Amino acid sequence: MKSRVAVTGLGLVTPIGAGREAAWEGLLAGRCGFAPVESFDTRAFSVHLGAEVRGFDPAPWVRRQDPAALGRASLLAIAAARQALEDAGLAPEAVAPERAGVAMGTTSGEPREVERFDDRYLAGELDRVGPEFIGLYPCHMIAAHVARELGFAGVNTMIPTACAAGNYAIAHAVDVLRAGRADVMLAGGADAFSRITYTGFARLGAIAPERCQPFDRHRKGMIPGEGAAVLVLEPLDRARARGARIYAELAGYGLSCDAHHMTAAHPEGNGAARAMERALADAGAAPGEVSYISAHGTGTPTNDRLETLAVKRVFGAAARRTPMSSIKSMIGHTMGAASAIEAAVCALAVALDRIPPTMNLEEPEEDLDFVPNAARDHRVLLAMNNAYAFGGNNASVILRKHEA
C-alpha cells in the first residue's frame, strides 16, 4: 500500500495576479495577461506580446535574504513558497528543518544572469562580471534560495526538464514523501521572462502575434510568460493529524520520453500517451474516471493537434465527455512554472468543483469539450495535469478529490 500524499497549500505568482485567490478568480473570469514586452526591446522581432508578471514586489516575501542579490526566478519562487506555506497554515519554524524539503522545476533557471554576462561580453566589459554570475545563474539556485529563505535543510532537488519541469518536481516530491524521506515538501516551478527564450520561440515561429488560442482552428502559437507556483505536499496522515485543509490528494504520476525529436512531439503522440497511461496506472484509475484534463495546450498548431490525438488514444470514447481546458490561453506559457501553476489549478478545481475555461476559442479544431470561453461548475473527482517539453520529456500528474 503506497502512502498517500495530500496537497495542503498553494502559492501562485502569475501574469494575471499573485496569490491563490487573485489567480483563481482571474482564471475563472477569463482574464488574459498579455501585453507588449517590457523586459527587453522587441523592435527587432516580428512579435511583441508577452505574459510578464508586472509590478511584482519581492519585499513582503523575501525576508531573510537581500532581494536585490537574488535572481528573478528565485524571487518569484520564494513568493510562491511563502504563500503556499501560509496557505497551508504552516510556519516555517513549525517544521523540523531536516525533514522539510524543496523540489523545483525550471526551463531556464536564472536566464537574466547569463544574458547580463552576454551583454558585458559583447560590450568588452567582462571585467565587470563578478561573483554573482556563478553565484546566481546555476538553475539549482532556485531551490537553494527557497530553502535558504525558509531554513529548510532536507531534500533539495532542482529538476530542469524544461516546460514539463513543474510536474517533474511534483512527481519527485511524491516519491520523497512516499519513501519517508521528508515530512513536508514544497514542490513547484519557476521561470523568469527571458530574452533567450523569447528569441528561440520567435525563431521557431511559435509565438502568436495577438492572442493565444489553444485548440482553435486558427491558432497561431503560444505567448511566452513567466511566473511561479509552489504546492505544499504532506503525507495524508500527517495532514489529517494536524487538521490541515486538504485541497486534494496527489494520487499519481507518469513520466515518459518521446526519444523522437528535440523540439517536435512524436507524430502519433506516443510519449504523451504513455505518460498519461502510467499516471492512470499509478493512481489506480481508469480513463473514464477522469473529470477534468488540464491540457498542456500551448496554442501552437502542432502541440494542440498531437495532444488531442494522444488524449483520444488514451481516453477512447471517454475523451469527448471529459472537459479539457488550457489556462495558457490566459496566462501564456510560463515555461518551467507552467505545469506547477496548472497543478495548483487542478487542486482548486478538485476542491471547489469549478473548471477554468479555454479562452479565445472560436472554432474548435476537434470535437472535444475544451470548456470554451467561460468557466464551468462541474464536479471534479479526478483531475489530470499534462505537460510536455523539449527533449521529449512528458509528465502527467493526477489529483483526486479528498473525501474527509
Partner 1 sequence: MPITSHPSDRRRVVITGAGCLSCLADSSAGLHAALCAGRSGLKPIELFPTESIGCHQAGEIRPFDAQSYLPDRNLRPIDRTSRLLLVAAGQALVGSGWTAEAVVEREVGLVLGTTFCSVRTIAEFDRRALQLGPSHASPLDFANSVINAAAGQTAIWYGLRGLNSTISAGAASGLAAFGYAVDQIRGGRAAALLAGGVEELCFESFFGHYQAGRLCGSRGGKEADDGELPIPFDARRNGFALAEGAALVTLEDAAAAAERGAPVLGEVLGHGSGFDPLGTEESAVGAVARAVRLALEDAGLGAGDVDALSAGANGSVDGDPWEAKGVAAALGARAADLPVTAIKSMLGEALGASGALQVVALLGTFGDGVLPGIPGLERTDEGFPLPGARPAAQRVEVRRALATALSADGHAWAVVLGAAGQS
Residues 227-246 that bind partner 1 (CB under 8 A): none
Q: How far apart are alpha carbons 189 and 169 in whole angstroms?
A: 7
Q: How far apart are alpha carbons 159 and 105 in whole angstroms?
A: 5
Out of 89, 138, 301, 364, name the contact with partner 1 by CB under 8 A: 138
Locate 339 and state its grid cell: 505545469
Question: Which residue in this structure is represented by grid cell 495548483?
Answer: 344
Catalytic residue (one of 145, 172, 266, 333): 333
Q: Can 172 be counted among the known catalytic residues? A: no
Dihedrals phi, psi of 93, to nearest 5 degrees: -70, -15
- Residue closer to partner 1 (CB basis): 278 or 328: 278
Q: Write down the least CB distance from residue 259 to partner 1, Å.
A: 4
Q: Write down the least CB distance from residue 371 to partner 1, Å.
A: 30
Q: Is 296 in the site for partner 1 (CB under 8 A)?
A: no
Residues 204-223 that bind partner 1 (CB under 8 A): 204
Out of 22, 28, 153, 381, name the contact with partner 1 by CB under 8 A: 153
Q: Is 321 in the site for partner 1 (CB under 8 A)?
A: no
- Centre a 10 Å sphere on the Cβ of residue 181 and count the other Cβ atoms it contains: 14
Between strands 17-18 and 5-14, the pairing is antiparallel
Residues 243-272 that bind partner 1 (CB under 8 A): 255-263, 271
Of the ranges 55-63, 200-208, 223-231, 288-296, which one interacts with partner 1 (CB under 8 A)? 200-208
Question: Longest C-alpha distance within the chain, in Å?
Answer: 63
Closest C-alpha among 380, 369, 283 to residue 323:
369
Catalytic residue (one of 145, 266, 296, 402): 296
235 in Cβ contact with 6 (< 8 Å): yes
- Residue closer to partner 1 (CB basis): 89 or 138: 138
Out of 6, 150, 311, 338, name the contact with partner 1 by CB under 8 A: 150
Of the ranges 12-20, 74-82, 117-125, 365-373, which one interacts with partner 1 (CB under 8 A)? 117-125
Q: Residues near 86 by Cβ (< 8 Å), separated by ≥ 6? A: 9, 11
Q: Write down the least CB distance from residue 235 to partner 1, Å.
A: 8
Q: Write down the least CB distance from residue 41 to partner 1, Å.
A: 11
DSSP code of residue 70: S
Out of 60, 121, 218, 373, name the contact with partner 1 by CB under 8 A: 121
Question: Which residue in this structure is represented by grid cell 483563481?
Answer: 24
Residues 25-64 that bind partner 1 (CB under 8 A): 44-45
Residues 161-180 that bind partner 1 (CB under 8 A): 161-162, 168, 172, 175, 178-180
Q: Can 140 be counted among the known catalytic residues? A: no
Residues 343-362 that bind partner 1 (CB under 8 A): none
Of the ranges 51-59, 153-161, 243-251, 367-375, which one interacts with partner 1 (CB under 8 A)? 153-161
- Residue closer to partner 1 (CB basis): 60 or 180: 180
Q: Can you point out the beta strands (E) in 236-282?
A: 248-257
- Residue closer to partner 1 (CB basis): 59 or 122: 122
DSSP code of residue 358: B
Q: How far apart are alpha carbons 120 and 115 in whole angstroms?
A: 9
Locate 340 and state its grid cell: 506547477
Q: Can 333 be counted among the known catalytic residues? A: yes
Locate 56 and state its grid cell: 511584482
Out of 341, 389, 397, 398, name the contact with partner 1 by CB under 8 A: 389
Dihedrals phi, psi of 52, to nearest 5 degrees: -90, 155
Q: Residues near 3 by Cβ (< 8 Å), separated by ≥ 6? A: 177, 178, 180, 235, 236, 237
Residues 366-385 that bind partner 1 (CB under 8 A): none
Out of 7, 23, 95, 114, name the contact with partner 1 by CB under 8 A: 114
Give the binding-site size for partner 1 (rule: CB under 8 A). Answer: 78
Out of 74, 83, 157, 308, name the contact with partner 1 by CB under 8 A: 157
Locate 55 and state its grid cell: 509590478
Locate 80 and state its grid cell: 510562491
Q: Residues near 76 by Cβ (< 8 Å), separated by ≥ 6? A: 13, 53, 56, 190, 191, 192, 226, 227, 228, 337
Q: Residues near 124 by Cβ (< 8 Å), separated by ≥ 6? A: none
Name the residues annotated as catalytic.
163, 296, 333
